[in-house]
A and B are shown apart, each in its own frame.
Chain A
Amino acid sequence: MAALCKVVSGVGSRIRLPSSRLLGSTSSGSSGRDRPAAERPKSGFAAALDLQSELQRNAEDSRFPPGQAETFASMLRRSPLIQMGPAKDRIVFGTIFHVVQDDLYIDFGGKFHCVCRRPVKGETLRRGSRVRLRLQDLELTARFLGASSDTTLLEAKAALLAPLEGSHGRESQG
């Protein structure tokens, strides 16, 4: 309980636990309460938390100097789409945003959505469900004979995977 009181005061919480007075150890008793919370030396979890948050803040500040917004180039470079690399056989999470009987329209953060057939044990899947996908292609395009530009289907291709918590589900082709 004494450690808990120190953590609460270290994080800068304004709520004073009334029980701390009763349950506080004798070492952090009256002498501790006389000094303000900021001057008390922190140890343990509180000290570690302060150190880590300061390091993180310094890292953020050095990356983006104050007054200068992040550039498009750096946003693009750090985006998950670019960091992912080629989309073939990558596992991503998607959300179902539309259902038409057995067809599930899933948005995984790319330009297009993918359409997957409902798996055999997929009665629980509905709008808003989070699913796992194995991507095949971000956009289904092909250049047909005699055409000047590619024909696009305005869809991505992915295979629906079994949910993580269930055991050995069946895969359904997209």
Chain B
Amino acid sequence: MATRTLTKGLLGLRQSRTLFVGQSCGGLHFSTAASVEVSPPQADSISEEVLKKPDFFHLSELFSLKDLFNARVHLGHKKGCRHRFMEPYLYGCRLDQDIIDLDQTMEHLQLALNVTAHVAYRGGVILFISRRRQFGHLVEATAKSCGEYAHTRYWQGGILTNANIQYGPDVRLPDLIVFLSTLNNVFQQHVAIRDAAKLAIPTVGVVDSNCNPNLITYPIPGNDDTPAAVELYCDLFKATIIRAKDKRKQLELVHRPSTPSAKRS
């Protein structure tokens, strides 16, 4: 244990030596304790190791095409409800009902879950939003079970844009917003999509064939009306976030056994 801390300290000194090369006097190099802590190798490995692989958390094993199909994710609304910008995501139209292309959905879902996992890994605040009253309780329960937040009630205008006045100074805004349904109760786009784009908060959203996918950073084309589909999404997001948080705890124990982890309050 003592030798490990000694080598850690020496490595830190070596790094600081290259930085302070101009300030050496007579071959002696001085460095304060603060400069040693600036970039210890173990902090890099925790935050940079995850970025080296495309699917670090193995999220592709959480879902399959068959699961999406059985949960009726490919069913869209009728042809008359179609949004023009959803046309690239549609497989076709069968007897006036739009069918969403599940091959594209698989790719988009993989990207979205990956982003969610990375945000959760770094201790980010994730907010689930859905104005569907049928699934309000399910979304709130999902958020609670993975230790994140949910907003399934009426959205007051300035929740994000006026947060400092409505909630007090220095309020922490979400780092990622996940929409289980991007429409509100009058079939208009949810205000939070526009507000998140204004505040540069990345969004993940399930877009049905009548939704506008424009402002959503990681859209997931899929059904947002059937309980089976929404339960599948909730289970996937919950599993992703829990997996990412567990991985973080595991890697912190491996790399920093003595120092306590910097958890968010």
Contact = CB atoms under 8 A, between A and B. Distances in A.
A35 interface: no
A69 B69 CA distance: 13
Contacts, number: 65
A75 B65 contact: yes
Given A141-B81, A154-B225, A111 B75 contact: yes
Nearest to B65: A72
Interface string A69-81: 1101001100101
B99 A76 contact: yes
A169 interface: no
A82 B94 contact: yes
A137 to B, nearest CB: 9
Given A75-B66, A111-B223, A152 B77 contact: yes
Contacts of B187: 151-152
Contacts of B226: 111-112
A107 B227 CA distance: 10
A162 to B, nearest CB: 27
Chief secondary structure at chain A's binding surface: loop
B108 interface: no
Contacts of A87: 95
A16 interface: no
A interface bracket (residues with beta carbon within 8 Å of B): 20 to 34
Given A111-B225, A154-B225, A69 B77 contact: no
B77 to A, nearest CB: 6
A85 B95 contact: yes
Given A72-B91, A139-B77, A150-B81, 18 more contacts: A72-B101, A75-B66, A75-B69, A79-B69, A82-B94, A97-B227, A107-B227, A109-B72, A110-B72, A111-B223, A138-B97, A139-B97, A141-B78, A141-B80, A143-B80, A150-B80, A152-B77, A152-B187
Nearest to B104: A72
A139 B81 CA distance: 11
Given A72-B69, A75-B65, A85-B95, A110 B75 contact: yes
A72 B73 CA distance: 12
Contacts of A152: 77-78, 81, 187, 210
Contacts of A111: 72, 75-77, 97, 223, 225-226
Nearest to B229: A111
Contacts of A141: 77-78, 80-81
B189 to A, nearest CB: 13
Interface string A133-167: 00000110101000001111010000000000000
A86 B95 contact: yes
A135 to B, nearest CB: 12
Contacts of A110: 72, 75
B144 to A, nearest CB: 23
Nearest to B69: A75
B221 to A, nearest CB: 13
B91 A76 contact: yes
A154 B99 CA distance: 16
A107 B31 CA distance: 70
A143 B79 CA distance: 11
A146 to B, nearest CB: 14
A110 B225 CA distance: 11
B65 A69 contact: yes
A143 B96 CA distance: 14
A149 B102 contact: no
Interface string B168-201: 0000000000000000000100000000000000
6 contacts: A72-B69, A72-B91, A110-B72, A149-B80, A149-B81, A149-B82
